[in-house]
Amino acid sequence: MLDDVRRALASVVAVPVTPFDQAGEVDERAYTTLVSRMVSAGVGALTPNGNTGEFYSLSAAELRRVVTLTVEAAGGAAVIAGVGHDAGRAVELATEAARLGAGAVMVHQPVHPYQSEEGWAAYHRAVAEAVPDLGVVCYVRSPLVGAGALGRLVGSCPNVVGVKYAVPDPVRFAELAAEVPEVTWVCGLAESWAPFYWPGGAKGFTSGLAVIAPELSLALLERLRKGDAAGAMDVWRRVKPVEDLRARHSNGNNVSVLKEALAQLGLCRRDVRPPISPLPEPEREEVAVILRSLRLTVGAA
């Protein structure tokens, strides 16, 4: 099973949004449709309850339900469930994910104002030791995490099989990937950065774009795998407007842009939960322009 997770990470790792219905509850039908749409397009790895899925605004019951829905709709795709909060709750979520049928967990960067490198490793070790048969992926968003602590974690917990690296520093990424080659390294900054992390050792990349245009994410992956730098950059230029708009307002638009696009495509509502907010009208129009440029139309599937 761990080798299956390693292979799944070497691909497009899609992070689904969590749609909400008119009453503000998780829209299970819309969520299942979005997952099935990605899997049908060829996406082979899914991370429910990621940041793009509004992890921190979901209740414990909703987190469990989203994992269940993903497992049910995933077909042969790997399910890598997001877990986090304090160490005890991260362990509980990981244990629950294993019970619900996930093949791996992605551990969110600990949310704490004071962190040490060894403390970061201890946090992840607690999760990994609680689910020894489950693959564990570290989500690194801090430059504090270095090869020493990461290497010791991997050495003591063989089920730590991947690193989702989301620090915008391709040089540092390449150094870490070379120093800790035992894991599968994933560009955690999506399509915007994937072509620049690939030469440094990335084998896959995360994607929110895959929720609206999975074919484009997969096209980028194919070109990167073939070493077709020019072709990869052609795809990169096509999708860059989406990623630029998502990154606006210090990434405050990250989820809202995707949900707005999905709403315009007739696939789910645009609703998000605080502290995120829906896009204002001018940015909604920008999304419409982008969708037309990508030849995505209302009701596309």
For residue 274, cis peptide bond before it (omega within 30 degrees of 0):
no
Residue 5 contacts residue 135 (beta carbons within 8 Å): yes
Report which of 185, 130, 191, 118 is spatially closest to residue 157, judged by C-alpha positions: 130
- The catalytic position among 31, 123, 139, 197 is 139
Using CA atoms, how far apart are residues 53 and 183, in angstroms rounded to an integer? Answer: 25
Would you tell me how many other CB atoms lie within 10 Å of the CB of residue 66? 25
If you search the block for the tokens 């129009």, which residue do you land on? 285
Q: Is 139 a catalytic residue?
A: yes
Q: 124 with 136: CB under 8 angstroms? A: yes
Residue 116 exposed, middle or buried by CB count within 10 Å (0-12, 13-18, 19+): exposed
Catalytic, out of 123, 164, 197, 203: 164
Catalogue the active-site residues.
139, 164
